Amino acid sequence: MSDITLSNLTYISREELAEQLKASSSTPSLPSNLAIIDVRDSDHIGGHIRGSTWVPSSELDYKTPELVRTLKDKEVVVFHCTLSQQRGPSAALRYMRERERLETGSKTVTKEGDVVKEGEEKEVSHGQEEKGKEKQQKVLVLRGGFTQWQDKYGPDRRLTEAWQKDIWEFGY
């Protein structure tokens, strides 16, 4: 069983995420180091964050291993649902646990206590950061979900795609 719990989740504000999107020179797509996973189900109507990938929460059981493999090169993966109170955090936990499960199976611990992938050799760094050492991928949850996102950035076409004011104007 995994040691990853709710206390391991980290949140990102809509303002922080918007700044990352605005700073991207790859408009209209996301920065190459970032993935946004939208886990809303039938409530996916009315818009979405530019460049996000829609993976309904009802499909996460069988799509999570695929997500871990396809997103392995991303530095940051952000999950969200409508409010990011249940499905978004749950999806982030599921993703983190699956990533841990897949990584644990392909790594070994050396007698020095270092974790290395099978087939890799440990490099001696002499006080410098080890070459080939993988950066830990950040898995985040969008605070307030799409509801808070669209409240501020819905009309901004640089940040939100297919936004429909009439769906959101009276709140969620």
Q: Kindly report the three-state secondary structure assignment for every residue of 112-141.
A: CCCEEECCCCCCCCCCCCCCCCCCCCEEEE
Mean pLDDT of 162-172: 77
Known catalytic residues are 81
Mean pLDDT of 23-43: 85
What confidence score (pLDDT) does residue 27 get?
Answer: 61
CATH superfamily of 6-105+135-156: Rhodanese-like domain (3.40.250.10)
Mean pLDDT of 96-107: 83
| Residue scoring higher pLDDT (18 or 128) | 18
CA–CA separation, 64 vs 68, rounded Å? Answer: 6
At residue 80's C-alpha, the angle toward residues 22 and 98, to 5°, is 115
DSSP summary character for residue 74: -
H-type alpha helices, 4-144: 14-23, 60-70, 87-105
Q: Does a cis peptide bond (omega within 30 degrees of 0) precede residue 65? A: no
Query: Residue 75 — very low, low, confident or very high, per pLDDT cuts 50/70/90?
Result: very high
